[in-house]
Amino acid sequence: MRNRHSSLLAAAVLAGAASLGGMTSATAAPAAAGNVLTYGSAGGTAVPVGAQLSAAGSISLTSTSPAGSVNCSSSTFGATVASNPIAPGTAGESNVDVAVNASSCTISLVGATGVNSIDVDLTNATVASNGTVKVTPIRAVGVLDSWFGPVTCIYEAASITGTASNTDNSIRFTNQPLNLTNGEITCPSVTNFSAQYKPVSGSGGKVFVN
């Protein structure tokens, strides 16, 4: 009789455990999807809002009329992560800052003899899961040395578009047109902005786009 009671009790315990296990499995929350920006790898740790990102790179400004270019081999990029939703989606960046070392610049433009300074204001940017980077707006101010003294050229665009790559954790802009909004005859009316920065990283390591 004791054996039969023990067997029934054991069966009840096992049945209860099976029932509880089924309930736990059925009500368990699904694994969360990854964020648009992650540290370390695709699908890695989410980059937190407020994180500071940075990268080193170079910029180039070219024009066809008159033909000429300014190439700067030393530039830095910085931004604050403003939003980082679940992928697929679009992350936001604020306080975007680009600094250019004028001593690294070379110039080939009629009437210009050197580069005194270049300031690039990008303000806000977005990074989409497909790798599209969009900056709105952009303003580039170049102070050039010329035969007649310093010349200031101011270029603007409502937005420019670039690409983020997980291959080398880079962002690139290629031949994005900027229009002259203030300047002298030495300044081309339209110049194309190109830049690349890599690797984009923060306190958690290299940044990947998902």
| Residue 55 and residue 151 in one domain | yes
- Alpha helix (H) residue ranges in the chain: 2-27
pLDDT in the model for residue 33:
60
Q: Is residue 5 part of a domain?
A: yes
| Residue 92 and residue 148 in one domain | yes
| Residue 98 and residue 168 in one domain | yes
Q: Is residue 55 part of a domain?
A: yes
| Residue 57 and residue 102 in one domain | yes
| Residue 111 and residue 24 in one domain | no
| Residue 90 and residue 121 in one domain | yes
Domain total of the chain: 2
Q: Is residue 65 part of a domain?
A: yes
Q: Is residue 35 part of a domain?
A: no
Tens-of-pLDDT digits for all 210 residues of the chain? 444 433 333 333 333 333 334 333 343 333 346 999 999 999 999 999 999 999 999 999 999 888 899 999 999 999 999 999 999 999 999 999 999 999 999 999 988 999 999 999 988 999 999 999 999 999 999 999 988 899 999 999 999 999 999 999 999 999 999 999 998 888 999 999 999 999 999 999 999 999
Residue 15, domain extent: 1-30
| Residue 86 and residue 163 in one domain | yes
Q: Is residue 73 part of a domain?
A: yes
Quick check: pTM over 0.85? no
Q: Is residue 126 part of a domain?
A: yes
pLDDT in the model for residue 2:
47
Angle, vertex CA 85, rays to CA 79 and CA 91, nearest 5:
30
pLDDT in the model for residue 67:
87
Cα-only R_g, the chain:
27
Contact 60, 98 (CB under 8 A): no
pLDDT in the model for residue 27:
37
Length of the chain as a residue count: 210
| Residue 20 and residue 64 in one domain | no
| Residue 129 and residue 185 in one domain | yes
Q: Is residue 95 part of a domain?
A: yes
| Residue 88 and residue 23 in one domain | no
pLDDT in the model for residue 30:
36
| Residue 169 and residue 103 in one domain | yes
Q: Is residue 207 part of a domain?
A: no
Q: DSSP states of 28-49 as a string?
A: SPPPPPPBSEEESSTT-EEPPT
| Residue 117 and residue 172 in one domain | yes
